[in-house]
């Protein structure tokens, strides 16, 4: 085992907020690939930018989770939020960067994202749009029916009904009934269920599946795609032409499959919301960034979420370049072009601009501009054994790179 040190650096973005900077309010947990198996607590000490957390019992293949709690008792009763989940870390034995009070340190850039509160009406509108897009693409989510449930339903119906899978066509979220557990919403799923009748005929029936869903941060340091954990209860299943006596018995058996599908959809929407917010601010996630849920709240009117970005190897996000080329490409005609590059809304000097074929790598001036006169081509002559020399469409590609920014490419048409 080796010592692994994490330096938490706090970076606020518009609409965000900072985490606690008091080391006593932080706890760290190293976990194995089994979720929530606690290996070693970390002790927080003040650093120049935030808080250092040292894990003296780190070994290969573990993952890091930094949470709110107390260093003496980082268990599930004190974990109230995911401030950072690293994913599985593969050694080098020591942390990859230097600079901590005790030696080497990995840097986690903590960047709060705040999608904010959304009413149930807003959530359902967004869900309907997502479903419409999936329908147009032929990618509506399906929920497979486990073999044991097929057997139960087949037995209850004396072989008349054998469900195969459920295709979801609509999801609506609303307030849970009065008296429900905290952080709980009511979810109604509608769609069609594919059924084999009498072992021969395939038929689709309309169904409705209603359940209560409790939401909480995942605390899963290994599966970084799980931001939220959903827990389902009180399922009610109705299906066209199927007696309620049968659906009532089957509904609880289907619960885990339904919740699993919902959880995947919810988490995908969260990732989309975070990347969209970053894009609006001219940023994109790094390849090693991990999104986590800092807090989730469910009220009678809607849901509020706060997300954070953690990155144990890089800065969490990179800025996006803004590139403009004037005039529009003219092929086969020698033309004077002006290419303007901006970063974070400001002219970017020293960015490297190239067009392949057409312009060798050229640096932008102090105004973020490259000016060049060239004759662009979008075809290439290629020898074909049967046809001889033929013209092949090969549009040129504009590329821009700059330190600290995500590279930009555009096919010129």
Tens of pLDDT, residues 375-409: 999 988 888 888 888 888 999 999 999 987 889 99
- The pLDDT, as a whole number, for residue 106 is 45
Select the highest-mean-pLDDT range: 1-5, 111-115, 245-249. 245-249
How far is it, in rounded angstroms, from Cα 320 to Cα 154?
55
- Residue 316 CB: number of other CB atoms within 10 A? 25
Please, which pLDDT band fits residue 24 given cuts at 50, 70 and 90?
A: very low
pLDDT at 107 over 50: no
- The pLDDT, as a whole number, for residue 87 is 60
Each residue of 68-94: b (16+ CB within 10 Å) or e? bbebeebeeeebebbbbbbbbbeeeeb
Q: What spatial distance separates the first Cα and last Cα of the chain, rounded to whole Å?
A: 56
Domain ranges in the chain are: 2-114, 116-301, 318-411
- Write the class of the CATH domain 318-411: mainly beta
How far is it, in rounded angstroms, from Cα 115 to Cα 305?
6
Closest CA to 330 of 248, 396, 410: 396
- The pLDDT, as a whole number, for residue 153 is 67
What average pLDDT score do residues 297-304 get? 88
- The pLDDT, as a whole number, for residue 86 is 62
* Between 26 and 351, the higher pLDDT residue: 351
User: What does the pLDDT look like over 148-184, one tens digit per residue?
Assistant: 667 766 676 666 667 778 899 999 999 999 888 888 9
The domains spanning 2-114 and 318-411 adopt the same CATH topology = yes
* Between 233 and 199, the higher pLDDT residue: 233
For residue 345, CA distances in Å to 12, 401, 404 come to 18, 16, 14
DSSP 326-388: ES---BTS-EEEEEEEEETTEE-TT-EEEEETTEEEEE--TTSEEEEEE-B--EEEEEETTTE
Backbone angles phi, psi at 264, to 5 degrees: -65, -40
Q: Which residues pair with 305 in a beta bridge?
A: 116, 296
- The pLDDT, as a whole number, for residue 96 is 41
What average pLDDT score do residues 276-284 get? 79
Select the highest-mean-pLDDT range: 67-71, 132-136, 154-158, 361-365. 361-365
- Write the class of the CATH domain 2-114: mainly beta
pTM recorded for the entire structure: 0.67
pLDDT at 315 over 50: yes
What average pLDDT score do residues 316-330 get? 89
How far is it, in rounded angstroms, from Cα 226 to Cα 270?
10
Bond prior to 327 in cis (omega within 30° of 0): yes
Average per-residue pLDDT for the chain: 75
pLDDT at 28 over 60: no
């Amino acid at each position: 085992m080796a010592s692994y040190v994490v330096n938490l650096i706090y970076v606020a973005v518009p609409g965000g907020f900072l985490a606690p900077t008091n080391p006593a309010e932080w706890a760290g947990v190293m976990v194995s690939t089994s979720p929530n198996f606690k290996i070693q607590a970390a002790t927080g000490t003040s650093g120049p930018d935030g808080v250092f957390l040292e894990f003296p019992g780190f070994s290969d293949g573990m993952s890091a989770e930094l949470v709110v709690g107390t260093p003496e008792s980082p268990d599930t009763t004190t974990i109230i939020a995911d401030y950072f989940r690293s994913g599985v870390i593969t050694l080098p034995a020591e942390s990859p960067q230097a600079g901590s009070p005790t030696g080497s340190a990995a840097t986690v850039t903590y960047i709060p994202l705040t999608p904010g509160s959304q009413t149930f009406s807003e959530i359902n509108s967004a869900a309907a749009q997502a479903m419409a897009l999936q329908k147009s693409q032929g990618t509506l989510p399906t929920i497979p029916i486990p073999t044991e449930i097929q057997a139960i339903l087949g037995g209850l119906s004396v072989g008349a009904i054998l469900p195969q899978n459920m295709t979801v066509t609509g999801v609506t979220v609303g307030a849970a009934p009065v008296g429900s557990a905290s952080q709980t919403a009511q979810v109604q799923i509608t769609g069609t269920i594919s059924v084999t009748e009498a072992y021969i005929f395939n038929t689709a029936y309309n169904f409705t599946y209603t359940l209560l869903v409790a939401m909480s941060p995942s605390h899963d340091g290994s599966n970084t795609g799980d931001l939220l954990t959903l827990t389902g209860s009180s399922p009610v299943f109705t299906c066209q032409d199927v007696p309620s006596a049968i659906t009532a018995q089957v509904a609880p058996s289907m619960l885990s499959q339904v919740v699993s599908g919902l959880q995947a959809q919810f988490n995908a929407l969260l990732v989309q919301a975070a990347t969209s917010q970053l894009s609006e601010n001219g940023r994109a996630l790094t390849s090693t960034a991990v999104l986590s849920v800092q807090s989730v709240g469910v009220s009678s009117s809607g849901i509020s979420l706060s997300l954070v970005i953690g990155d144990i190897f890089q800065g969490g996000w990179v800025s996006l370049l803004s590139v403009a080329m004037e005039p529009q490409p003219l092929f086969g005609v020698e033309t004077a072009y002006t290419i303007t590059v901006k970063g974070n809304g400001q002219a970017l000097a020293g960015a490297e601009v190239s067009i392949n074929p057409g312009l060798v790598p050229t640096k932008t001036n102090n105004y973020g501009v490259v000016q060049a006169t060239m004759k662009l081509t979008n075809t290439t002559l290629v020898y074909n054994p049967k046809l001889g020399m033929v013209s092949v469409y090969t549009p040129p590609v504009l590329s821009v790179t700059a330190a600290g920014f995500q590279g930009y490419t555009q096919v010129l048409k």
